[in-house]
Amino acid sequence: MSTALLLTEPEPFLERHLRSDGFEVVDDAARPDLVLLRNWAALDECRARHGDVPVIVLGDSQSDAVDRVRALERGCDDFLVRPFSYEELLARIRAVLRRTLPAAHEVRRAGAISVDLATRSVSVGDVGVPLAGKEYELLLKLMTDASRVFTKEQLLRDVWGFRSLGRTRTLDSHASRLRRKLAAAGAGTVVVNVWGVGYRLV
């Protein structure tokens, strides 16, 4: 999901560059993740409308140290005086968002497959894929290096804790179910049995 930014006054140059850097520039009717405010005196009105949203003030060239201090004392998160470079503004936006947005879940990806490690949820595109515990752990292991063929011994040791291969069909049966579930969600045949060696993702 992209981060929503609100510019309280239209600035086509900034809007174009912010969109190209992956932000969603929204209008005043939306709930933004951060506001770029032209006038710090409008902070109270902004907070009344949007709640306790992070705010960066883009002050005009006449702004001085007193303006910056007053803005920060009123609760603005940062203050940037014009003229400024776009790169500096971008760095300050990202710094404020790192401080104020909840920590993002670590998501591991391989092709169309995404795994949210915090929630242990798996999806192919927008389609959720419910997996049993060992199916999930097998997928996660294969995703650690999508170009690698993992031997059966490695997978049985690392996923199931087996010390020897023996005659178990546990790995093959779990890999087969995992393959079917991912294929049903639209991933195609991505869990591949490399004959005589083990398994890999494609």
Residues 94, 106: Cα–Cα separation, whole Å: 18
Average pLDDT over residues 78-104: 86
pTM of the model: 0.52
Least confident of 5-9, 15-19, 127-131: 127-131
Q: For the chain, give every residue range classified as CATH 3.40.50.2300.
A: 4-100
For residue range 25-48, list pLDDT tens digits in order.
Answer: 998 888 898 999 988 888 888 888
| pLDDT tens digits along 187-200 | 888 888 898 888 89
Say if residues 4 and 27 touch (Cβ distance below 8 Å): no
Pick the CATH number of 107-201 from 3.20.20.210, 3.40.50.2300, 1.10.10.10, 3.30.300.30: 1.10.10.10
CATH number assigned to the domain with residue range 4-100, chosen from the 4 options 3.40.1440.10, 3.40.50.11930, 3.10.310.10, 3.40.50.2300: 3.40.50.2300
